[in-house]
């Protein structure tokens, strides 16, 4: 997300979850079809920083096309631009990275099993060239008037 050349504000779900929700009462269960309340403060912070002209590096898993379109729309609604960076990783590498983080900095991450990763990978919607190019904002899913309404349902209390 970019507004103009200046300092960057890093915003990361790992940092937010471990700082504000730790210790976790149970493992995180990601589902792109369910509301995602922990993400809402991250997006609100990112948009507020953009409104003030600060560049934002949002480390955020955009699992679905709808999430990617909504975030792009929200960023553009505050007069900024959005560069989406997709870094593909295979399951073996992902498991090794998570195991390393758990063994070296367990207080800075949250537990994830290989079974969790396998399940979550089935929910991920691959990006297409238009999404990577950053010029496409698709229509909201059927039944939604616009992206702000969809975002408020996906990320409760989002404004």
Tell whether 102 is covered by a domain: no
Chain mean pLDDT for the chain: 77
Angle between helices 65-77 and 147-154 (to 10 degrees): 120
Output the pLDDT for position 158. 63
Measured distance CA(117)–CA(130) in Å, rounded = 26
Q: Given this model, what pLDDT does residue 25 score?
A: 46
- Domain membership flag for residue 111: no
Whether 19 has a pLDDT exceeding 70, the answer reads no
List, as own/partner pairs, every contact residues 83-86 make where C-beta atoms lie below 8 angstroms and the sequence separation is at least 24, other chains included.
83/1, 83/2, 83/134, 84/127, 84/131, 84/132, 84/134, 86/127, 86/132
Count of structural domains within the chain: 1
Report the pLDDT averaged over residues 88-98: 93
pLDDT confidence band for 45 (50 / 70 / 90): confident
**Range of the structural domain that residue 148 is part of:** 8-87+125-154
Question: Above 50 in pLDDT, residue 140?
Answer: yes
pTM recorded for the entire structure = 0.72
């Amino acid at each position: 997300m970019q507004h103009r050349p200046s300092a960057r504000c890093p915003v990361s779900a790992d940092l937010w979850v471990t700082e504000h929700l730790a210790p976790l009462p149970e493992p995180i269960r990601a589902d792109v079809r369910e509301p995602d309340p922990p993400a809402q403060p991250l997006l609100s912070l990112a948009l507020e920083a953009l409104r003030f002209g600060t560049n934002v590096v949002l480390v955020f898993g955009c699992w679905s096309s709808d999430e990617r379109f909504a975030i792009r729309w929200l960023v553009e609604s505050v007069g900024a631009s959005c560069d989406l960076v997709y870094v593909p990783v295979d399951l073996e590498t992902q498991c090794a990275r998570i195991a390393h983080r758990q063994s070296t900095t367990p207080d800075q991450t949250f537990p994830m099993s290989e079974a969790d990763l396998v399940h979550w990978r089935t929910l991920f919607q691959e990006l297409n060239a238009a999404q990577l190019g950053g010029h496409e904002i698709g229509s909201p899913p059927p039944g939604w008037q616009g992206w702000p309404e969809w975002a408020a349902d996906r990320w409760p209390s989002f404004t």
